[in-house]
Chain A
Amino acid sequence: MSVADRYVGGVDRFRVYYQHLASLPPAVQFGLVFGPAMLFPVLYTTGLTSWQFLNTMTLTFLFIGLGHGWNVIGGYAGQISLGHAVMFAVGAYTTAVLLVYYGITPWIGIPLGGVLASAAGLILGGVTFRLRYHYFALATLAAALAVESLFNRWDFIGASVGLQYTGVESGLSSFVFEPRWIHFYAMWVFALLVTLLIYRLHHSRLGIYLKAINMDQELAANAGLNVFRYKMYAMGLSSFIVGVGGGLYVQYVNFVSPVETLDLVRNVEILLIPIIGGLGTVFGPIVGAFIYMPTREYTRGMFAGTLVGVDWVIFGLVLLLVVIYAPHGLVNRLRDTFGNPKGGETDE
């Protein structure tokens, strides 16, 4: 047997694995992602893994949710928003301000942050949805930069210094948990609920309508769809999810500032995750988050203080590989390579 034969055998074996996985019921597929992850904090508390690992996984699960959130408007409806950090910040600041200034529990603050983020998204969408393609993207980016500049000067919310959780006691009502690994489960629940919601969306009428609007807006209107209304709906939903994520994040790090939430990088990383994984897919943001966040956290830790910026070089390299070898995202690449093009219907 030649090496080439064995290679073909290897690919075929992957094909069998992949098709087996793809044919499993969705509940089992989600279980395979979320089930073992439940043990991550146990691995940490028993000393089998480092805090860095658990911290990375906590952020990974947060970003699964954020990636899904962006995917609703960017992947399904095809409106490339470069301003989603605004919604993240609105969620984070709402939660922090209510808790630190008024002692209002994040159990109220986080959902309220989601609602306000949704309102912010609708205002942004109402103004920018008249624009298309890169004009829309640039307008949302401009809005994000304007909001960053505003937050940097707004004394009530701490201007450029931000808000610290000094004096906030840990506990169930303050949503600040001690030990900190409990926050992993908050992110885990967030990621799971959002994943289930997106799965629902993917198979709903709304999912089909949004994909249609993405492909051909005029044709969608010609089918009787009020394009603006559905884009706004997608934007509201997307912003709500990202806003809730912002609230969960600030409860985890106990600190919020414009740099932390509104930096250009934040706008970009929210959308990199679904783009790496696969736009308009349920598993795209999951795969994307598992690639992006560990790369970011480990390279950042590795080069901190010595070779600042090298982490971005490495990440750029990863991104370049994805763009070259999986331009439509890894999930779609895997499906095209290993999925049976005929007969293997999974979406029925």
Chain B
Amino acid sequence: MSDGQTTDTVRRTTDPVLTVDNVTKSFGGVTALDGATLEVRDGEIVGVVGPNGAGKSTLFNCIMGVYELTDGRVELDGTDISSQRTDVIVNSGMSRTFQLARVFPDLTVRENMLINQEHRNERLVETLLSPSDQEVYDRADELLEFVGLEKLASSPAGELSTGQKKLLNIAGTLLSDPEIVLLDEPAAGVNPGLVDDIAQSILDLNDRGATFCIIEHDMDMIRSLSEYLYVLHNGTNLEQGEPETVLQKEAVLEAYFGQ
């Protein structure tokens, strides 16, 4: 295939968790994604960068079933999940945060966490008659402590700062112990002090075995976090490989700076 020259000096040995194969998405006459391809392997932190309008968020929306694919295929752990309903995909083991932090403002921080619990085997009657399991509570509190929000557990989530909401979102995605987490610009709109906290949380969680795919505009952050990088441009793959190498490429610089 012509798209995406590989500079594969990184040895990718683990099994693929997420495979995006030639995904195309058109809105009427506009093609937002044109045969985008991506692979995330178990235990990796994979970065996705590209200038504004490259189709990064559209890609996440396609993966998560928010948009129906025009063409192509998305696989999670070898199972085809193309154009499935979002909640089905989440219950299959993939969760996602949004570019703009989104919380349920009138629910408490802890309740915002509990919403993300495993819903796969939940019985309707049980949800009315019994509260969440103690293990779920404990895990939620543990994750809140991990991202430093434990003192705010009983406050309404609407009172959190943007950065804190992002931390809450990241913690929330992990409650159901997903195979992979997609993070859409975790550092955007966050004050610099918290950016480091977020980056550190991601690294720590990765050490414990979590797999991430991250869209990010902050180049320092993406360099320090990701071990493999995809560059999207005009909805299609431009480059991929080790971050340091990829970001030096002529084509990448041109896409970003027009020169």
Chain A residues with CB under 8 Å of chain B are 200-201, 203-206, 208-209, 211-212, 215-216, 218-227, 229, 233, 237, 345, 348
Contact = CB atoms under 8 A, between A and B. Distances in A.
B42 interface: no
Given A222-B95, A225-B87, A209 B64 contact: no
Interface stretch (B73-81, B99-107, B222-230, B231-239): B99-107
Given A205-B122, A223-B95, 13 more contacts: A200-B129, A204-B127, A204-B128, A204-B130, A211-B106, A215-B105, A215-B107, A219-B103, A222-B102, A223-B90, A224-B118, A224-B176, A345-B154
Nearest to A345: B154
Interface residues of B, number: 35
Nearest to A204: B128
A222 B122 CA distance: 16
B12 interface: no
A105 to B, nearest CB: 27
Contact of B114 (A203, A208, A215, A226): A208
Contact of B172 (A216, A223, A225, A233): A223
Contacts of A206: 124, 127-128
B128 A224 contact: no
Interface in B44-93: 64, 66, 85-87, 90-91
B31 interface: no
Interface of B: 64, 66, 85-87, 90-91, 95-96, 98, 102-107, 111, 114-116, 118-120, 122, 124, 126-132, 154, 172, 176
Contacts of B124: 206, 229, 233
Contacts of B103: 219
B104 A222 contact: no
A200 B104 contact: no
Q: Point out which of A205, A209, A216, A219 has the most chain B C-beta atoms below 10 A from its C-beta.
A: A205
Contacts of A200: 128-129
11 contacts: A203-B131, A206-B128, A211-B104, A215-B106, A218-B66, A218-B86, A222-B86, A222-B98, A223-B119, A223-B172, A224-B116
A212 B90 contact: no
A229 B127 CA distance: 12
Q: Point out which of A221, A223, A224, A233 has the most chain B C-beta atoms below 10 A from its C-beta.
A: A224
A227 B119 CA distance: 12
Contacts of A220: 115
B171 to A, nearest CB: 12
Contacts of A227: 87
